Amino acid sequence: MQILQDKKIVLGISGGIAAYKTPELVRRLKEQGADVRVVMTQSAKAFTTPLTLQALSGNAVADSLLDTQAELAMGHIELAKWADLVLIAPATAEIIARIACGMANDLLTTLCLATSATIALAPAMNQQMWHAQATQANIKTLNERGNQIWGPGSGEQACGDIGLGRMLEVDELVSLSSDFFADKYLEDQHWVITAGPTREAIDPVRYISNHSSGKMGYAIAHAALRAGAKVTLISGPVTINAPIGCQLISVNSAEEMHQQALKFAPKCTTFIACAAVADYRVAKIADHKIKKTNDAMQLELIRNHDIVADVASLSTKPFIVGFAAETQNVEHYARGKLMRKNLDLIAANDVAKSGQGFNSDDNALTLFSAIDKTEIPLANKQIIAQQLVALINQHYLAKHN
């Protein structure tokens, strides 16, 4: 069943240009099974229409505290009691200030005072307004009261400025809504995850690398966050965004990843070595670009540190999960790595198969322990990650009970 199935979400829309995205947000939340009721401020109606939102949500849109018909049944109180989550998107500087001050001069602010549900705000404003002392003081106040602040994102804004202040994209808000309702079974755990490729420099403009996109490692980080874990993501260079809420440590080389892994591994409960780390690096990196003067060129390569093996050799080691991307004899090589490196689990995949593994959105894994084997069939990497995180936790609990 979908996480948002039958969840009751009040979507509060205030008067910012990002309100044009809210019909799509309603549609996507409904797709995930949520029951959505929309509350608009008067200024929000300048950017999108109640009729559109009513058609998409399947519920009447509320926009006035003084609606005599709705208030016959104390409509604002009923909405406040009905909600499992109040999501305000976009949350302008003005609505943030009014909620922080405890004002109740329209339907949306009154509902926020009257509800016991969690309130999540998705800020949307000019970058200077976001950084203003008054706004930051209001955000601090809301945080201290237990409200959730989702965003803002960074990028080009409607006014032409570039910086923090953009409302998060619809898919990010849907994902955060799902995360809010997800089972937090990893709440007391700290996961450190390595992801992506490494780049081993040849000279200032060239490097040796591989085809890893980082999608699997990032999906695991997202799934662990959704399950309540604190997540540190040590990532090589990728073109995808890190999950909101994780601690991102960006590295380039295997040596840098090794240093960061040994820094964070002793402090974590679970270490996931998902990165595609280069086995070798260039012995001597050229100070300047190597010129094409000969028909052939030889590079001397030296072996990199084995990150997961070094983590496994720590005196106080976490629960350790390795990855084995193989093109043949997958089970043989995976079990060999499991035993040789003293891992608790290893997740193996056959990257020779088309449509899974490197650069693909899909994957299939086989999870090996010293005593058993579990197949995770081909699916989107987000789904694979959710199943994998649950299985890892089962093994983690079995070991520590």
- What does each C-alpha distance from 262 to 267, 315, 392 come to in angstroms? 9, 12, 21
Q: Which helix (H) or strand (E) holds 280?
A: strand 280-282
Instruction: Return d(Cα 212, Cα 196) in angstroms, integer.
Output: 5
Cβ count within 10 A of residue 29: 24
Answer yes or no: 159 catalytic.
Answer: yes
Query: Which helix (H) or strand (E) is 201 found in, with range?
Result: strand 200-203
Integer CA distances (angstroms), 144 to 101, 148, 149, 159, in order: 13, 10, 11, 31
End-to-end CA distance of the chain: 29
Half-sphere CA count of 46, side-chain side, radius 13 A: 7
Q: How many angstroms from the chain centroid is the CA of residue 47?
A: 29
CB–CB of 307/194 below 8 Å? yes
Separation between Cα atoms, residue 22 and residue 28, nearest integer Å:
10
CA 324 from centroid of its chain's CA atoms: 24
What is the Cα 331 distance to its own chain's centre? 31
Q: Say which of 101, 112, 159, 246 is annotated catalytic.
A: 159
Where in the sequence numbering do the catalytic residues fall?
159
